[in-house]
Amino acid sequence: MTWDIFCRVIDNYGDLGVCLRLARDLARRGEQARLWCDDLSPLAWMQPEAVPGLSCQPWDESVGAAPGDVVVETFGCELPAPFVAAMAARPVRPAWINLEYLSAESYVERSHGLKSPQFSGPGAGLDKWFFYPGFNDRTGGLLREPGLLDAVTAHHGDAWRAARGWGRRPGERVLSLFAYPQAPLAPLLEALGPGWLLLLCPGAAQSAVPALLRDGQRALALPHLTQDGYDQLLWSCDLNLVRGEDSFVRAQWAGQPMLWQIYFQDDGAHGPKLEAFLDAALAGAEDRWAANWRALSRAWNGLGPWTPACAEALRERPAAVAQARAWRAELAAQVDLTSRLQAFARRASGA
């Protein structure tokens, strides 16, 4: 099938990162994918090499293009009206799918797979279907390309970092830091204590962290990495601090302890979203460690105080690793998002 995937860049590049991973995965599975975006400039570092079967096109050039078999409207980006009209005029109407944001909240299971008939506008007569990623089999699942976990297992993190000049010193642990500008860096560094090498991804932390380092800590500023390179960074660290959605999902596949900075929302909706994820990811963990990690996650997101429990959570690496691996295994037992989306599109189109 031919897929059209539409993405708008709002204030960060996470949405584009998700869309690129989806489009690339589809192409590598033999589909034809076109990624339409209003800002393709980040692809120069995210995906500098061409991918057979994947075409990345400016958003405005979709006007006049013939729609494919499946049209994916990501994150409510609203398709161009002329393209929707062309969808409605197509002899065999495409499957129109709205790919939503990831959440562990209960509404996801209720909303996944719902149909929205279009009664007016350029798409009158079409059906739009809602596809929700998630963390169980009653949702759309998570992006996981074939062979990913085998690649994680075969990866040699110390050698990979050393080859790039990011090697650890004796006794050091290594973390990657990808955070929003409002991240509470000072209390984090205090809770970490000595013996850490911080690998700082591009962003505000690269200028803020050096002046905040405690004794026994050091930091290196990293360049922009390709998506594959960023994955390998996550596989190479003892702790990954991630944000948003794309890096958040990839860190879970790395199987290392992960601290998530959720996207802040003025209405406070990020609080319940964080708690829903923690409820799922910490299920079955030892009670004391789970309580400490929850306290750390709340503090990192400005939803709770920094207490001694936060530092204790960071010191309890064996428990953190065990839970990260158990959670990854639970997720890996499920069908991945791309496979589910392909099957969903076939059902939606009647193919």
Q: Where are the domains of the chain?
A: 2-142+335-349, 148-332
Convert the pLDDT of each residue in 50-103 to its tens digit. 999 999 999 999 999 999 999 999 999 999 999 999 999 999 999 999 999 999
Percent of the chain with pLDDT over 70: 99
Q: Which CATH number fits domain 2-142+335-349: 3.20.20, 3.40.50, 3.30.70, 3.30.9?
A: 3.40.50
pTM confidence score: 0.96
Query: Which pLDDT value is given to residue 242?
Result: 98
Query: Which pLDDT value is given to residue 264?
Result: 83
Per CATH, 2-142+335-349 and 148-332 having the same topology is answered: yes
CATH 3.40.50.2000 matches 148-332:
yes
Residue for token pair 């803020």: 208
Query: Which pLDDT value is given to residue 280?
Result: 97
Query: Which pLDDT value is given to residue 8?
Result: 94
Q: In this structure, how many other beta carbons lie within 10 angstroms of the beta carbon of residue 52?
A: 8
Range 321-346 average pLDDT? 97
CA 336 to chain centre: 14
Amino acid letter, residue 13 = Y
Using CA atoms, how far residue 242 sits from 39, 118, 200, 249, 301, in Å, is: 23, 38, 11, 9, 12
Q: Comparing C-alpha atoms, which of 113, 127, 73 is closest to residue 340?
A: 113
Residue for token pair 């000595």: 194
Spell out a b/e string for 117-139, using b for 16 or more CB atoms within 10 Å of the CB, else e: ebeeebbeebebbbbbbbbeeeb
pLDDT at 41 over 80: yes
Q: Is 55 helix (H, G, I), strand (E, B) or coil?
A: strand
- Band (pLDDT 50/70/90 cuts) for residue 284 is very high
**Mean per-residue pLDDT of the chain:** 96
DSSP code of residue 203:
S
Rounded Cα gap, residues 84 and 98, in angstroms: 13
Strands of the 32-37 sheet, one edge to the other: 54-58, 32-37, 2-7, 70-74, 95-99, 127-131, 115-117
Rounded Cα gap, residues 24 and 35, in angstroms: 9
Query: Which pLDDT value is given to residue 266?
Result: 79
Give strand pairing partners of 177: 200, 241
Tokens coding 88:
């409605």
Tokens coding 16:
């584009």
pLDDT at 351 over 60: no
Rounded Cα gap, residues 231 and 229, in angstroms: 5
- Band (pLDDT 50/70/90 cuts) for residue 13 is confident
- Bridge-based pairing state of the strands 196-200 and 258-261: unpaired
Query: Which pLDDT value is given to residue 194?
Result: 98
Using CA atoms, how far residue 34 sits from 52, 69, 98, 347, in Å, is: 11, 11, 16, 21
Rounded Cα gap, residues 243 and 180, in angstroms: 7
Rounded Cα gap, residues 202 and 327, in angstroms: 28
Give strand pairing partners of 36: 6, 57
Lowest-pLDDT choice from 11-20, 210-219, 285-294: 11-20
Tokens coding 101:
């944001």
- Band (pLDDT 50/70/90 cuts) for residue 350 is low
Query: Which pLDDT value is given to residue 199?
Result: 98
Q: Comparing C-alpha atoms, which of 47, 332, 290 is closest to residue 298?
A: 290
Rounded Cα gap, residues 168 and 170, in angstroms: 7
pLDDT at 269 over 90: no
Convert the pLDDT of each residue in 142-180 to its tens digit. 999 999 999 999 999 999 999 999 999 999 999 999 999
Element (H, E) at 123: none
**Catalytic positions, please?**
15, 245
Ramachandran angles phi, psi of 27, nearest 5°:
-60, -40
Q: Comparing C-alpha atoms, which of 114, 106, 97, 115 is closest to residue 134?
A: 106
